[in-house]
């Protein structure tokens, strides 16, 4: 069973925006700026790292909800850092406050919800053709 996770547990994740992280990589008519799905991925990574040290055995946390605003564009070569801070726990779901910043400003913010699962039990419940 997961160890108690203290409110305020935190972690960061960062990356440099490359072409593969841009809107243009998904559609050539779109501008070469950091995509919202890539920003969310970075935020989810930070949230995972904030909670993971408290998991035991083959437990991990998985995302269950995302509520995020992408507020500013960042171009190729920009360093983006996401921070995640555990805000609350309701008995099943952890709510993690997330922000993303580039070299100049906040570019995104919101919350992600995560839940603890046992990997073996989770995979055992999957349909046989989905593994």
The reported pTM is 0.93
Please give the Cα distance from 74 to 107 (Å, whole number): 8
Residue 46 contacts residue 98 (beta carbons within 8 Å): yes
Right CATH for 10-130 from 3.10.129.10, 3.40.50.300, 1.10.940.10, 3.40.50.10070: 3.10.129.10
Active site residues: 36, 44, 70
* pLDDT score, position 1: 63
- Residue ranges per structural domain of the chain: 10-130
What one-character DSSP code corresponds to residue 92? S
Q: Which one, of 65, 19, 59, 5, lies nearest residue 40 by Cα?
A: 65
pLDDT tens readout for residues 89-107: 999 999 999 999 999 999 9
pLDDT tens readout for residues 12-51: 999 999 999 999 999 999 999 999 999 999 999 999 999 9
């Amino acid at each position: 069973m997961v160890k108690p996770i203290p409110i305020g547990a935190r972690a960061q994740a960062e990356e440099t925006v490359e072409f593969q992280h841009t809107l243009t990589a998904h559609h050539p008519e779109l501008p070469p700026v950091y995509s919202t799905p890539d920003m969310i991925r970075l935020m989810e990574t930070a949230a995972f790292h904030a909670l993971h040290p408290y998991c035991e055995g083959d437990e991990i946390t998985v995302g269950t909800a995302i509520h995020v605003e992408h507020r500013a564009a960042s171009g190729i070569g920009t360093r983006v850092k996401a921070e995640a801070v555990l805000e609350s726990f309701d008995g099943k779901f952890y709510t993690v406050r997330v922000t993303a910043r580039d070299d100049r400003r906040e570019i995104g913010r919101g919350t992600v919800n995560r839940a603890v699962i046992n990997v073996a039990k989770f995979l055992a419940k999957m349909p046989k053709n989905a593994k």
